Structure 1
């Protein structure tokens, strides 16, 4: 089995390599190709990747290349984890929206739109080359904004499934609180990528006992602290929102906070420099502890599980993924991309039925989906007016004056990545 990782020079990659090494019985990879245009980073990450495989006795071969076509040739699955513009672009995404009193964040709001505009055309170009190399290859997208990118891939006819680590991270946290194994915990996880709620925490499977009320009663303070939301929000809702809902539920507080401290992009950039220095140490044979602070926790387990199921191996039959709605949420179009538990196999992902959602949640999901419609149109067709329309539609922007100013700033900061600007 051959897998390719586009963006293989990312500091995330050793997390993925560690999962491939530990879970080789689930996903028996014989050849793993790390593809990245940054040859210097690729050499450091590739060296550590080979040492991790050797330390854990994995027989697979790891190849590094800057040649995309050679890297994806004959691959059974291609994982996308790229960042167009690097951390420098992320730094901009997290700062210029604050000038207009809006959240500066890399996957939602104005910054998230900027990332989508940079990323969607590049990902579609890569996907076309994957299709030419092997039309049967699966594309697993971890590139943010995952929902928008996955939708663009699916609409272009690619065999693609989107993956995020929010659900698996919450599953692991809940399992620890409940003192059970992660495999015993099933989440009623519903929404869009980075806009989800846990409506139930079930033991034993999708039809198991819902222990969420007791979990909130006993551990509500710890869960709320982790999400950085007031405990009373969880108590009043009776559900667990993802931490990205803080940008919606505490918008003004978050803007004030972001305006008075270093950006997450600056923190990550410093962390990456330290990680790359570590990766260059020939004595390092395992992922360093610092990597856990980089983000992407449990990404490797989720990626291995998904790839194994898509390729017919021993992956879990039900996994939380990003895929077409196809009637699952009746208030959305069939071609909207949602993030829900789905049955995953060789033919792709089929969402499980979900209960009827309260308007409190359905309304916000519909609102953000409308924004995503306009974001994809702007990413594919370009133009200032399309960017403005997408920003005006976003619930974190929503004001004419803000949308005008943000449109000008977005274009000014991203001209080198926008062919039409």
Structure 2
């Protein structure tokens, strides 16, 4: 089995490598190709990757290339984990929206739209080259904004599934609180990427006992603290919202908070510099503890599980993924991309049935999906008016003056990445 990782020079990659090494029985990789235009980062990351494989007695071969076509040739699956513009672009996404009184974040609001506009054309070009080189390869997208990027891939006819680590993070957290193995915890996870709720926590499988009320009663304070939301809100909802819902449920508070400290991008950039120095140490043969602060916890386990299911029989039959709605949420179009539990196999992902949703959740999902429709249109076709309409439609913006100001700032800060600007 051959896998290619586009964006293989990322500081995330050792997390992925560690998972591949530990879970080699689930996903028996013979060759792993790290693809990245940054040859200097590739050298540092691949050196550590080979040492991790060697320490854990993984027989697979790790190769590197800056040539995308060569890297994806004959790959059974291609993982996308790229960031167009790097942390510098992310830093802009997290700062200029604050000038208009709107949240600055890399995957939602105006910053999320900027990232989509930069990313979708690049990902579609990569996917077309994968299809020309190797039309049977699965594309696993971990590149944000995952929902919009996955929809772009699917609408262009690619074999693609989107992946996020939010659900597996909740699964692991709840398993610790319940003192059970993670595989025993099944989530009633419903929504969109970075706009989701855990409506139930079941033991043993999709039809198991719902222990979410027990979790909230016994561990509500800890869960609320992790979400950085009030306990009384979590109790009133009776569900566990994704921590990204804080941008919606406490928008003004978050804006004030973000204006008083360095951006997350600045923090991550400093971490990346330190991590790359560590990766260059020939004595280091495991992922460093600092990597846990970089983000992407449990990404490797989720990626291994998904790839194993798409390529064979090694993965879990039911996983949380991003895929076409196809009637699962009846208030959305079939070609909307949702994030839910799905049966995953060689033919792709098929969402499990979801009970009727409370309007509190369905309304926000419908609103953000409408924004994503317009965001994808702007990313594919370009144009100031399309950008403005997407911003006006976003529930975190929604006012003419804000949308006008944000449109001008978005274009000004991203002109080098926008072919039409």
- TM normalised by structure 2 equals 1.00
Counterparts of residues 7-86 of structure 1 (less than 5 Å) = 7-86=7-86
Q: Distance between the aligned counterparts of 2:208 and 2:142, measured in 1?
A: 29
Aligned counterpart, 2:5: 5
1:313 aligns to what SS in structure 2?
Answer: coil
State the distance in 1 between where 2:205 and 2:293 align: 30
- 1:260-311: per-residue Cα shift (whole Å, max 9, x none)? 0111000000000000000000000000000000000000000000000000
Runs of 5+ in structure 1 lacking a partner? none
Q: Is the 8 A contact 1:5 1:34 kept in 2?
A: yes
SS in 2 for 1:373: helix
Distance (whole Å) between structure 2 residues aligned to residue 257 and residue 159 of structure 1: 41
Name the structure 2 match of 1:352: 352
Aligned pairs for 1:18-417 (under 5 A) are: 18-417=18-417
Number of residue pairs matched? 421
Deviations 1:347-394 (A, max 9, x none): 000000011001000000000000000000000000000000000000
- The alpha carbon displacement at 1:313 in A equals 2.9
Matched residue, 2:420:
420
CA distance in 2: counterparts of 1:26 and 1:178, whole angstroms: 25
Q: What's the CA shift string for 1:324-357, capped at 9, x where partnerless?
A: 0000000000000000000000000000001100
> Whole-Å Cα distance in 1 between the matches of residues 416 and 116 of structure 2?
14
- Provide the secondary structure at the position in 2 that maps to 1:269: helix
User: Aligned partners of 1:295 and 1:355: how far apart in 2?
Assistant: 32
SS of the residue corresponding to residue 33 of structure 1 reads: strand
SS of 1:289's partner is coil
Alpha-carbon contact 1:27-1:313 (below 8 Å) kept:
no
Instruction: Give the deviation of 1:36 after TM superposition.
Output: 0.2
Distance in 1, matches of 2:324 and 2:313, equals: 23
Per the alignment, in what secondary structure is the counterpart of residue 83 of structure 2?
coil
Q: Give 1:233 shift.
A: 0.5
Query: Structure 1 segments of 4 or more deviating over 2 A?
Result: none
For residues 266 and 233 of structure 1, the distance between their equivalents in structure 2, rounded to whole angstroms, comes to 31
